[in-house]
């Protein structure tokens, strides 16, 4: 055995330099391949030409949250008209009021206000924001579902902080005679496509699409994708963003309370995904306890960071294919349950934002409710709402079993047309790969 081994060593001695050279070449190739892969990993939206999904790092505190893209899906966007193109161009304008507020605070929380066409409501919300302590430290982004001059004028008049307007360029409200508006030949209501020779897919209840109804979900999803991935002002922002609507009255202590909640969340409630300004029960003003509250995420003044957005973005198919025209019910019924763990949010035990509507239309109204009568808000801001009322030393009370929409709910419908589902899914891709127009 020893003799045989020595002979093999002797016979192979002349090939030693070749083997060494081969080893060096293999090592160099391995380093080059590794370098290439790492470069590809940090390019947001890079799409390899393979048949497997691509995973792109977003450069945040949790590198395990990646953008998942399916190269087999080809995004298609409707052909834009002149109004759509002009609004898309306005989306590229920089924020206003930088002369009054030249810089943003280092730990600022950006605010997104998404609106449709209720100018009296918007006027109330804007006035409430003007009284918020710390509002001048941050950027307010107003996202419009369509273009309505009176709404636009109200936002143009804001002078209390930096403000940027964006307009959903594919809003059904911008397309009078083509998808995503009403297209010639579209089925309506419960039309039979064969009998009427019309086009469209019904929802689970046999109803065809209504552009006015589907715009709610389209706007929210487009806004989310645009705010997190499509704006230079937010694209590299890894902090928290607050989302509010045109019927949310924001109390003066909201921003300071929110800063505290965001700071306390990783310490007091690491399992919490978000922070909220108000209870998930829109009729509640809070418990008034000397404690923080962890509960299911509500839809009034919710705040989260890019890590959570990536988890939501990864569920684009679930969001876009669920037969439900409300974005929030879609999230509660299919997206949040798919995370595998309870989706808690952290809040104070007293509201810092209040939902309001037209007086006399809301069931169960009481003295604590807010409502609008002839453009005037019937609601009194109390002394406790003027300054921060959250104590960092408070413990957290968990609400573990709450009523409301959850996994298993099949949806209210209104979202059965394949064109809406495909447009919705296309919004998840527009800032991550090239797309085509129909």
Annotated binding site for substrate: 145
Q: Cβ distance 282 to 300 under 8 Å?
A: yes
Which of 243, 247, 354 lies closest to 308 in space, CA to CA? Answer: 243
Helices (H), 168-290: 193-196, 211-229, 254-268
Cα separations in angstroms, 333 against 376, 429, 432: 35, 23, 27
423 Cβ contact list (under 8 Å, min separation 6): 76, 77, 78, 170, 180, 218
> What gap in Å lies between CA 138 and CA 320, rounded to an integer?
32
For the annotated binding site, the residues are 145, 247, 355
Counted residue by residue, the chain has a size of 438
Pairing of β 376-378 and β 292-296: unpaired
According to DSSP H, which parts of 43-148 are helical? 82-90, 119-130
Phi and psi of 360, rounded to 5°?
90, -10
Peptide bond into 180 cis (omega under 30): yes
Q: Map residue 66 onto helix, strand or coil.
A: strand
Q: Which residues neighbour 252 within 8 Å (Cβ) at sequence distance 6 or greater? A: 131, 132, 133, 381, 385, 386, 387
Distance CA 358, CA 346 (A): 29
Annotated binding site for Mn(2+): 247, 355
């Amino acid at each position: 055995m020893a003799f045989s081994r020595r002979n093999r060593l002797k016979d192979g001695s002349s090939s030693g330099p070749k083997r060494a050279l081969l080893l060096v070449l293999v090592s160099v190739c391995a380093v080059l391949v590794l370098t290439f892969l790492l470069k590809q990993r940090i390019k947001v939206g890079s799409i390899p030409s393979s048949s497997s999904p691509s995973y792109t790092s977003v450069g945040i505190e949790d590198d395990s949250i990646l953008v998942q893209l399916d190269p087999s899906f080809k995004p298609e966007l409707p052909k834009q008209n002149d109004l759509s193109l002009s609004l898309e161009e306005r989306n590229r304008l920089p924020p206003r009021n930088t002369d009054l507020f030249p810089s943003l605070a280092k730990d600022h929380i950006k605010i997104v206000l998404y609106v449709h066409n209720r100018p009296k409501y918007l006027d109330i919300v804007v006035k409430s924001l003007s009284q918020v302590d710390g509002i001048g430290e941050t950027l307010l982004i107003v996202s419009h579902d369509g273009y309505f001059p009176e709404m636009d004028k109200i936002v143009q008049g804001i002078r209390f902080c930096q403000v940027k307007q964006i307009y959903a360029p594919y809003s059904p409200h911008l397309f009078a005679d083509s998808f995503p508006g009403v297209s010639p030949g579209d089925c309506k209501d419960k039309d039979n496509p064969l009998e009427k020779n019309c086009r469209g897919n019904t929802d689970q209840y046999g109803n065809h699409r209504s552009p006015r109804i589907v715009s709610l979900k389209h706007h929210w999803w487009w806004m989310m994708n645009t705010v997190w991935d499509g704006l230079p002002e937010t694209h590299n922002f890894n902090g928290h963003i607050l989302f509010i609507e045109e019927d949310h009255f924001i109390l003066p202590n909201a921003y300071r309370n929110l800063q505290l909640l965001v700071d306390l969340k990783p310490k007091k409630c690491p399992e919490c995904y978000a922070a909220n300004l108000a209870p998930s029960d829109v009729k509640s003003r809070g418990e008034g306890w000397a404690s923080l509250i962890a509960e299911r995420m509500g839809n009034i003044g919710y705040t989260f960071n890019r890590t959570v957005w990536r988890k939501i973005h990864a569920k684009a198919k679930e969001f876009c294919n669920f037969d439900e025209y409300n974005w929030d019910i879609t999230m509660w019924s299919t997206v949040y349950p798919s995370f595998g763990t309870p989706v808690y949010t952290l809040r104070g035990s007293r509201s810092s934002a209040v939902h309001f509507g037209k007086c006399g239309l809301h069931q169960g109204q009481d003295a604590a409710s807010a409502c609008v009568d002839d453009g005037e808000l019937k609601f009194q801001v109390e002394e406790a709402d003027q300054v921060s009322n959250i104590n960092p030393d408070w413990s957290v009370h968990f609400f573990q079993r709450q009523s409301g929409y959850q996994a298993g709910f099949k949806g209210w419908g209104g979202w059965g047309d394949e064109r809406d589902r495909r447009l919705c899914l296309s919004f998840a891709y527009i800032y991550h790969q090239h797309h085509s127009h129909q």
